[in-house]
């Protein structure tokens, strides 16, 4: 009877934690819409538009270790609450940024949002890994992460319906506008982000209050002051662990590949399939996220019979080939090839995360924070792809995510051999 009551008491906390995967997925993929919107509002190059992701993922990099140390001092629940509060604050900052129509203010707001997400991801991922048998950690985390694409899809739908206007004047049409018309156009497009982000901020703030109010199990609330986890000595230890550091490198390149493809998918379509509107191309991005979600569930099921690292190696090789096709055959078929990569990306983040934390024991919190810091790949490599696009073309710039998948394939082979030696 006590066991049933204990399980029942875990239901609401579990729902709240799983919802975090939804909430940060929504924030991540709203960025893909923002790149298209800001490129229009501020007439940016591909490199400068890519700074949306650079500002966002730098927040992860800067706050991941502080998040781990915060968890050590106050526990998982406190990290979740603080992360949600920072997320809400960043969303609210979109209102004055749009009113001022200053690109740098938008980048600052995105940095604040990502700072909050660093707390959420640093706490939620290792908590899922810790709650159960280490032998099934990859499958368990893949299942939890399967709810992340629902948030990603929500982010694209919100952006498509409430941010993108479908009004895409050419350079010639802009040149014929009067100064008043031009100012009105830019102001209207800039203010399109205010309403959606105000709503997002309110929802996230409500969720923070719910987490604060609901009683969580002791594993989520206890301080780790008496433990060695999260201390600077833990970081010294994991930084000298070559197996773990290969996981960090693989995560860096995975996040870079994912963010590059999703950030520039609309841009790729605009350049290689002329005449296709931004709202139509947003549907291709939406399709990417739907098959990403399907891939998560299917891959989790496949892991019942197939080794996680071996499956990831196969997926990475397929994505190398799909990216190569998008490079050599730009156009509608190349666009579809990029969409297809999402299915095979689906298992990579949680699998690399779980494989990286394997056997770290008391150093898992420090390891988790470094794996979250590796998300900086989304900042560095997206900017690199934008720069390459400016210097050559967007389809040639797909070389950046293709090389990322090469690194992931090498890591997957390495991890599979280590696990079975």
Residue-wise pLDDT for 7-38, tens only, equals 446 678 777 887 888 998 899 889 988 988 99
- What single string gives the DSSP state of each residue in 314-325? HHHHHHHHHHHH
Average pLDDT over residues 112-140: 77
pLDDT digits (tens, 9 = 90+) for 369-388: 888 889 899 999 999 999 99
Is pLDDT above 70 for 409?
A: yes
Average pLDDT over residues 210-226: 72
The CATH number for 2-222+229-419, chosen from 2.70.98.10, 3.40.50.300, 3.30.230.10, 1.20.1250.20, is: 1.20.1250.20
Which SS3 state, helix, strand or coil, does residue 133 take?
coil
Is pLDDT above 80 for 6?
A: no
Is pLDDT above 60 for 420?
A: no
pLDDT digits (tens, 9 = 90+) for 281-304: 999 999 998 999 899 889 988 988
Residue 19's nearest CA partner among 137, 141, 120, 162 is: 120
Is pLDDT above 90 for 215?
A: no
Give me the pLDDT at residue 369, please. 81
Is pLDDT above 90 for 237?
A: no
The continuous run of DSSP H or E covering 71 comes out as helix 51-74
Give me the pLDDT at residue 421, please. 47
Buried b (16+ CB within 10 A) or exposed e, 120-130: bbbbbbbbbbb
The continuous run of DSSP H or E covering 38 comes out as helix 2-41
Give me the pLDDT at residue 394, please. 96
Distance of CA 5 to the CA centre of its chain: 36
Tokens of 58: 């730098």
Residue 51's nearest CA partner among 35, 62, 36 is: 35
Per DSSP, helices labelled H in 171-307 are 171-176, 179-191, 194-213, 218-221, 232-239, 242-272, 278-302
- What single string gives the DSSP state of each residue in 184-209? HHHHHHHHTTHHHHHHHHHHHHHHHH
pLDDT tier, 419 (very low <50, low <70, confident <90, very high otherwise): low
Give me the pLDDT at residue 73, please. 83
Give me the pLDDT at residue 276, please. 87
Residues 142/299, Cβ–Cβ less than 8 Å: yes
The CA–CA distances, whole Å, from 72 to 82, 124, 358, 361, 365 equal 14, 14, 20, 15, 8
Tokens of 52: 């949306």
Give me the pLDDT at residue 83, please. 95
Give me the pLDDT at residue 221, please. 67
pLDDT tier, 360 (very low <50, low <70, confident <90, very high otherwise): confident
Is pLDDT above 90 for 417?
A: no
Q: Give the domain ranges of the chain.
A: 2-222+229-419
Of 101-115, 135-149, 166-180, least confident by mean pLDDT is 135-149
Give me the pLDDT at residue 334, please. 97
Is pLDDT above 70 for 229?
A: no
Neighbour count for residue 100 (Cβ, 10 Å): 12
Mean pLDDT of the chain: 87
d(CA 396, CA 326): 9
Count the alpha carbons within 13 Å of 110 in the hemisphere toward its beta carbon: 28
Q: What is the 3-state secondary structure (H, E, C) of 160-174?
A: HHHCCCCCCCCHHHH
d(CA 415, CA 409): 10
d(CA 187, CA 321): 42
If one compares 194 and 217, the residue with the highest pLDDT of the two is 194
Q: Percentage of residues in the chain with pLDDT exceeding 70?
A: 89
pLDDT tier, 329 (very low <50, low <70, confident <90, very high otherwise): very high
If one compares 14 and 394, the residue with the highest pLDDT of the two is 394
Find the Cα–Cα–Cα–Cα dihedral 10, 12, 14, 17, rounded to 10°.
Answer: -140
Tokens of 85: 């509060």
């Amino acid at each position: 009877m006590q066991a049933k009551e204990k399980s029942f008491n875990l239901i609401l906390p579990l729902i709240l934690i799983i919802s975090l995967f939804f909430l940060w997925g929504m924030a991540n993929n709203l960025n893909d819409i923002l790149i298209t919107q800001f490129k229009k509002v501020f007439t940016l190059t591909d490199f400068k538009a890519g700074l949306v992701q650079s500002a966002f993922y730098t927040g992860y990099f800067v706050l991941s270790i502080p998040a781990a140390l915060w968890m050590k001092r106050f526990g998982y629940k406190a990290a979740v609450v603080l992360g949600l509060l920072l997320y809400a604050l960043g969303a609210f900052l979109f209102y004055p940024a749009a009113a001022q129509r200053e690109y740098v203010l938008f980048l600052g707001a995105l940095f604040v949002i990502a700072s909050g997400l660093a707390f959420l991801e640093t706490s939620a991922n290792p908590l899922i890994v810790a709650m159960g048998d280490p032998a099934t950690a990859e499958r368990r985390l893949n299942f939890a992460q399967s709810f992340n694409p629902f948030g990603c899809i929500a982010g694209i739908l919100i952006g498509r319906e409430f941010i993108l206007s479908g009004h895409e004047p050419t350079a010639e049409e802009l040149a014929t506008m009067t100064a008043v018309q031009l100012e009105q156009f830019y102001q209207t497009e800039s203010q399109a982000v205010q309403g959606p982000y105000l709503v997002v901020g309110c929802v996230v703030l409500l969720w923070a209050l719910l987490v604060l109010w609901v009683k969580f199990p002791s594993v989520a609330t206890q301080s780790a002051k008496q433990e060695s986890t999260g201390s600077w000595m833990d970081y010294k230890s994991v930084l000298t662990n070559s197996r773990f550091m290969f996981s960090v490198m693989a995560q860096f390149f995975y996040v870079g590949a994912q963010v590059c493809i999703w950030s520039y998918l609309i841009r790729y379509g605009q350049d290689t399939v002329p005449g296709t509107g931004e709202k139509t191309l947003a549907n291709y991005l939406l399709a990417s996220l739907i098959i990403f979600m399907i891939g998560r569930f299917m891959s989790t099921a496949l892991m019942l019979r197939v080794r996680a690292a071996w499956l990831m190696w196969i997926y990475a090789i397929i994505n190398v080939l799909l990216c190569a096709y998008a490079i050599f055959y730009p156009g509608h078929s190349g666009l579809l090839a990029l969409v297809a990569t999402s299915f095979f990306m689906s298992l990579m983040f949680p699998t690399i995360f779980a494989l990286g934390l394997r056997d770290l024991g008391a150093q898992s919190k420090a390891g988790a924070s470094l794996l979250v810091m590796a998300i900086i790949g989304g900042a560095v490599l997206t900017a690199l792809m934008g720069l390459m696009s400016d210097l050559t073309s967007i389809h040639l710039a797909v070389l950046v995510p293709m090389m990322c998948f090469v690194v992931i394939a090498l890591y997957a082979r390495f991890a599979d051999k280590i696990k079975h030696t």
